[in-house]
Amino acid sequence: MKLIYTDALIVGAGLAGLRVAIAAKERGLDTLVLSLIPAKRSHSAAAQGGMQASLGNALKGMGDDEDVHFQDTVKGSDWGCDQSVVRMFTHCAPKAVRELAHWGVPWTRVTAGPREVIVNAQKVTLEEAQAAHGLINARDFGGTQKWRTCYTADGTGHSLLYAMDNKAISMDIPVHERVEALALIHDGKRCHGVIARCLITGELRAYVAKATTIATGGYGRIYAVSTNAVICEGMGQALALETGVATLGNMEAVQFHPTAIVPVGILTTEGCRGDGGLLRDKDGYRFMPDYEPEKKELASRDVVSRRMTEHIRKGKGVDSPYGPHLWLDITLLGRKHIETNLREVQEICENFLGIDPVKDWIPVRPTQHYSMGGVRTDAKGQSPQLWGLFSVGEAACWDMHGFNRLGGNSLAETVVGGMIVGKYVADFCECNNLEVDTGLVQLFMDRVGDEIDALIDGGGSESPIVLKREMQRIMMDYVGIFRNGAELDKAVAGLKVLLERSRRLGLKCNKRHANPELVEALRVRRMLKVALTVACGAAARTESRGAHAREDYPQRNDRDWLKRTLASWPDSEALEPVLHYEALDVMQMELPPGYRGYGADNSIAHPDTERRSAQIAAILAELGDDADRYTRQRALMPFDLPDSLAPRNERLCDTLATPLTSVAGKISTGEQAL
């Protein structure tokens, strides 16, 4: 048996995982990262837009602070998030951006003087302040009150991941590449590491650690079409689920993006519609105004996705060998605009579709994009059920996104979450001993070994790829953008049959070393369990909240459903997870549930909402008008952070003697519409 010991073991080498590794190594701990692929190939690299942090350097970001970022995030989550976690997050986001600048990220900077931008399809001239010249810039994103999204041109995720991995290399943090974690070693109370398989040699290894952190990203690939990388298969969530003890939170919260290209599911940016692009059906007809007379193509992501699906279901989709799709028409924007402002969309169209978007329509459809759910953790990133198990980033349900994530908050969560949770992981490693029970390790090693033996020599007949495709189709058809009781029941029933069948898997390729079919077989069983937590969670939640849209229960129901779904799988022979719920306490909220400010306003109120609102008013009144925003916040909802992250964030406005409004530039709106 090959045993490898370490203090902090991290599964997943994307931004979140690497950040935790760096935090542990900084404290002198022995740190080791496992990854399916080279770290720099992680899906974090695909985030192009940027990360939200309330620096308030750019003109349209001035007046921004943690409070505004907090409100936007909570509203975006449809009040499904953990508000103290959102506070921790918004407080540390500016720190993470600045830290990354020290590590080499070439953030796009503010250029003083006038520049032309397009807001609401109108040309607007912004005059950036001289004092802000050279500071980190921000761009506009959906669902935010301020321009808050820090970016590096069109490749923010790439730049961040490269800087982060370079930092990890400089600290000599080993990354074991092409290694797949298959089981957590645990005794029902404490997690002791993982059993992992080398994807090249097939060797099984036991990695024993004080703290194990799951940072494996989302589970988008349980759907047939996803914008996610092909490795985002929910294996991290499955690791936790298969312990039977640890829980997964809000697995039914899955975000769909309206305009990914067909067939490969690569995203075309929201900017296409923001700049005036239109959606058309098989007859070339622009259908969005019929559904959303006011906002048309520019309604929020979830709304547009829902309307497109509705229209396809009416038979108005364009048939293709890859299923029906709709058209995104940006031809009306003209060559000049596309070649300057939508260069990346044009490249995608040329490379993947062989078309020129200046002349041709782009085939698109709503596509799975983000997993709000994941391994449930407390505010320190630790599993409440399994001591020593941590999770961070998209893999986790830390829970700052609730039922809907804002654009720019995913990339931010990886580095900010990693920064905070990393410190708690290091604390844990310093306070706890490495416990090695070789008997226990052997037990888990044998279990995985037996599973592989059975797949190779077991004589099963089910094909892993057939089961996987079938699962992906069920999730796509019945657990998609619109959900209803009947279809969700169908999904659960269908997935259970598949899970049953997955116990009789057989392989055509019987190699024990590098064998893609074996990898597929080991994954598909686990993915089916993850898919079942999504389907069962969705079937049970009889309300609509954020991205979870039930046709049969269109209202957000705070009265009955202001709670987090927790799924566990205590009986490994069972065909479905056990669901239980964790209530969100309105009386602890800084921002009690209300109207988001966009979308439908049709919620059923929670009985505590009014009481809490009154209480908040009273607390603030008692503090008086002199109290600063920090004091007021602390009075409403105190939150903890590691000491080193506690200091306040300095902003440009704090460093200037004169108030910003007078040094800042002007906004002038041009008359002509584009």
How far apart are CB 535 and another protein at their closest, in Å?
A: 24
Nearer to another protein, 409 or 463 (CB): 463
**Pick from 1, 28, 120, 153: which binds another protein (CB under 8 A)?**
153
List helix spans (H) across 438-482. Answer: 438-457, 464-478
By CB under 8 A, which span of 334-342, 482-490, 619-627, 652-660 interacts with another protein?
A: 652-660
**Pick from 120, 122, 130, 170: which binds another protein (CB under 8 A)?**
170
By CB under 8 A, which span of 308-316, 365-373, 446-454, 648-656 interacts with another protein?
A: 648-656
List helix spans (H) across 139-252. Answer: 156-170, 235-241
How far apart are CB 88 and another protein at their closest, in Å?
A: 15
- Binding to another protein (CB under 8 A) within 561-580 occurs at none
How far apart are CB 302 and another protein at their closest, in Å?
A: 23
Rounded distance between C-alpha atoms, residue 246 and residue 223, angstroms: 24
Under 8 Å CB-to-CB from 102, ≥6 apart: which residues?
none
Stated length of the chain: 674
How far apart are CB 223 and another protein at their closest, in Å?
A: 15
**Pick from 291, 352, 387, 639: which binds another protein (CB under 8 A)?**
352
SS3 content of the chain, % helix, strand, coil (to 5): 40, 20, 40
Rounded distance between C-alpha atoms, residue 188 and residue 246, angstroms: 9
**Pick from 29, 51, 175, 412: which binds another protein (CB under 8 A)?**
175
Nearer to another protein, 247 or 515 (CB): 515
**Pick from 353, 493, 578, 637: which binds another protein (CB under 8 A)?**
353
Of the candidates 559, 560, 576, the one whose C-alpha atom is nearest the C-alpha of residue 568 is 576
570-580: burial string, b at 16+ Cβ within 10 Å, e else:
eeeeebbbebe
How far apart are CB 238 and another protein at their closest, in Å?
A: 19
**Pick from 1, 332, 486, 614: which binds another protein (CB under 8 A)?**
332
How far apart are CB 352 and another protein at their closest, in Å?
A: 6
Of the candidates 268, 283, 337, the one whose C-alpha atom is nearest the C-alpha of residue 314 is 283
Rounded distance between C-alpha atoms, residue 507 and residue 463, angstroms: 7
Tokens for 266, please give them: 């690569």
- Binding to another protein (CB under 8 A) within 21-80 occurs at 37-43, 45-46, 55
**Pick from 294, 359, 643, 671: which binds another protein (CB under 8 A)?**
359
Report helix angle 464-478 to 516-540, nearest 10: 30
How far apart are CB 303 and another protein at their closest, in Å?
A: 25
The contact pattern for another protein, residues 500-519, with x = CB under 8 A and - = no contact, is: -------xxx-x-xxxxx--
By CB under 8 A, which span of 188-196, 234-242, 382-390, 642-650 interacts with another protein?
A: 642-650
Given a contact cutoff of 8 angstroms between Cβ atoms, the answer to whether 105 and 152 are in contact is: yes
Active site includes 343? no
Specify the 3-state DSSP secondary structure of 564: strand
Rounded distance between C-alpha atoms, residue 588 and residue 659, angstroms: 35
177 lies in the site for another protein, by CB under 8 A: yes
Of the candidates 558, 561, 632, the one whose C-alpha atom is nearest the C-alpha of residue 595 is 558
The contact pattern for another protein, residues 463-502, with x = CB under 8 A and - = no contact, is: --x---x---------------------------------
462 lies in the site for another protein, by CB under 8 A: no
Nearer to another protein, 132 or 562 (CB): 132
Output phi, psi for 566, to 5 deg: -120, 130
**Pick from 58, 59, 81, 163: which binds another protein (CB under 8 A)?**
163
By CB under 8 A, which span of 216-224, 279-287, 577-585, 601-609 interacts with another protein?
A: 279-287
461 lies in the site for another protein, by CB under 8 A: no
What CA–CA distances, in Å, run from 364 to 261, 300, 317, 540? 4, 17, 10, 31
| E strand residue ranges, 322-429 | 326-329, 362-371, 374-376, 389-391, 396-397
By CB under 8 A, which span of 187-195, 314-322, 553-561, 622-630 interacts with another protein?
A: 314-322
Nearer to another protein, 332 or 619 (CB): 332
How far apart are CB 280 and another protein at their closest, in Å?
A: 9
If residue 113 lies in a helix (H) or strand (E), which one and from where to where? strand 113-119
Tokens for 482, please give them: 């619109």
Tokens for 14, please give them: 């994307």
- Binding to another protein (CB under 8 A) within 187-216 occurs at 200-201
What CA–CA distances, in Å, run from 10 to 90, 451, 498? 24, 24, 31
- Binding to another protein (CB under 8 A) within 360-399 occurs at 360-361, 363
The verdict on whether omega for the bond into residue 263 sits within 30 degrees of 0, i.e. cis, is: yes
**Cα 14–chain centre separation:** 12
Given a contact cutoff of 8 angstroms between Cβ atoms, the answer to whether 374 and 213 are in contact is: no
Residues in binding contact with another protein, number by CB under 8 A: 92
Nearer to another protein, 486 or 509 (CB): 509
User: Which entry of 87, 301, 523, 556 is annotated as an active-site residue?
Assistant: 301
Residues catalogued as catalytic: 301
